[in-house]
Chains A and B, each alone.
Chain A
């Protein structure tokens, strides 16, 4: 990847962190105690107070309650599974799909960009080789499989949202926009992959593992059989840019969208589940 993409990547990450800090500043406007604080405490003071409180819990027997809370209530949402299995299923498809895809992208980025720079020789480690090769059957399968999970989650979320009793529907226009936004990122990714297969004339036995892109490439070829690989290359570059720009925009939008709950509810859920487990233990 060219250097300017890396610069934008880093700026976007700063933007994401900046957005989260901006939201966090509002959170630290609050008091520490329910009945007000003894004196005016600065936001930094409050921040360090909570870090200290977290550390004192983390390095104590309560550590296991934190671990339990993170696994049961944040990562796997057992409470949601017990109460609303369908909702849990949709959430699981979306959360784990996006999370694993994000993880795969980071690992692939490291394998492609950083490993060689650190003196890595191709062929020394199958896992790094696999991650670095987009046409590797496992990488392609995993990528498209996760895409499919997210698509299923997006579809079910929309259907569920619209068939839910209108009165108690919590969908807002911005949520629908966000779902379409994520859907568009997925679709633009398939177009990028499909046009790459067509531009590189990737043989069937390799391309079939990236099944979403592969089927789409067949469809594109059927619609426009005479388009040359050079033209598909232009399509590929265009779609890649569209794809990456929408991903960047999504990252910047996260702190101000419904997706911010991934960060805030994870922290709140862990802290609150610790307190609730301690209350249960007390009795």
Chain B
């Protein structure tokens, strides 16, 4: 990874992002609420400082003097700080929500990472992530053929393990659920729920590639393009009406980022790419939406779960996708549940620390952020913390264990299945 200087290029940003960069009032509100700042107590990783350095860098290059005499580059110290701030960010978008002038900060963080990657200024661990994804098509060290190994523990599965050529619903499991044994329970629960509701569904097996978001989030937008095209084609050839995601990040990628990619410059590529946006002919849902729909249709018989349950909003499902009500309503449908809200909820929910590839870049920071959220969960007095994200469940469960808490972390599909299978006292 060779570092090059004097390369900031405004073309890596959109017009809207550059306008937002100029529109920052430096009020500092984003800093006070940033989870990376809270987790590190290091102001250099805060959104305001990061934006300020970025603005300074752009202004240096595109100022009158910069245009005449060439860009005055930031000092090496400032550039290192910018790199650190760019990659020690969970991309939770809390800064964007809290910004009094509604600046679209999350998009700026993506573009900043892309810009820094282009300059060779990024943590080395991301190279490993990129290689795993480009070669293996998933974020683990496993081969993609083992994508549905988790299903072997599910009872009553057909010989084809639901890897079918045609189905009404395609279940997009996501890399974490497919390869992380700690959360295998999630896809298993979803499959069991689909079986119980007689859903005609298919898994894509090795045909399922990573959604590409980890690459986009790490700043490798170019490399993510082929994942988009492959995944859209794979779902289309199964003639699906619905695509159901367990992972909020995959859902966000499918729902909001794939159409963006589709309408962008696909004709730059050497291989022929039809207009992708015309090819997304199916509804994209998160499991919580689909399970809520099935529950409303009376597909499940729910037994009481007499527990105090709280809900953690995943960043990509909540702030990035606006889904707050369905998971809460779904939990409340279960008899016996005493639903408790956490202190910071919905768009103000604190991040679990599992996003933005931070776990791969700075595991300590990720743990510290999780710890803050876990303290809130413990203070709520809940017996179970439910989320709709395998990464949140994984991160929170790990942090709860470290805190020696007896609170159980589970996915909403697991809770629903527990209720159907007899509930609990």
Contacts and interface: CB of A to CB of B under 8 A. Distances in A.
| B-side interface size class | 35 or more
A227 B100 CA distance: 52
Interface string B1-40: 0000000001101111111101111111101100001000
10 contacts: A25-B62, A37-B265, A38-B266, A80-B27, A170-B28, A172-B26, A175-B26, A261-B23, A269-B103, A272-B101
Given A80-B100, A264-B22, A268-B20, A36 B268 contact: yes
**Could you tell me the dominant secondary structure of chain B's interface residues?**
helix
Contacts of A269: 23, 101-103
Given A168-B32, A258-B26, A268 B11 contact: no
Nearest to B33: A83
Contact of B23 (A79, A264, A275): A264
Contacts of A276: 102
B330 interface: no
A31 interface: yes
Output the residue of A22, A27, A267, A273 with the most chain B CB within 10 A. A27
Interface in B199-241: 221, 225
B264 A34 contact: yes
A199 B367 CA distance: 71
B18 A30 contact: yes
Contacts of A31: 11, 13-15
B102 A37 contact: no
A160 to B, nearest CB: 11
A46 B265 CA distance: 15
Given A80-B29, A84-B100, A279-B322, 16 more contacts: A22-B64, A27-B18, A27-B19, A35-B260, A35-B264, A36-B264, A37-B264, A80-B27, A170-B52, A266-B23, A268-B19, A268-B23, A268-B103, A272-B16, A275-B104, A283-B321
Contacts of B23: 261, 264-269
A46 B15 CA distance: 8
Interface of A: 22-23, 25-39, 46, 50, 69, 73-74, 77, 79-80, 83-84, 87, 164, 167-170, 172, 175, 258, 260-261, 264-269, 271-273, 275-276, 279-280, 282-283
B27 A170 contact: yes
The 5 closest A-B pairs by CB, nearest first: A35-B264, A265-B23, A29-B10, A268-B23, A283-B322
B107 interface: yes
Nearest to A39: B265
B43 interface: yes
B278 interface: no
Contacts of A22: 64
Contacts of A275: 104
A106 B268 CA distance: 52
Contacts of B48: 168, 170
A109 B27 CA distance: 34
Output the residue of A23, A74, A265 with the most chain B CB within 10 A. A265
A102 B277 CA distance: 49
Contacts of A36: 264-265, 268
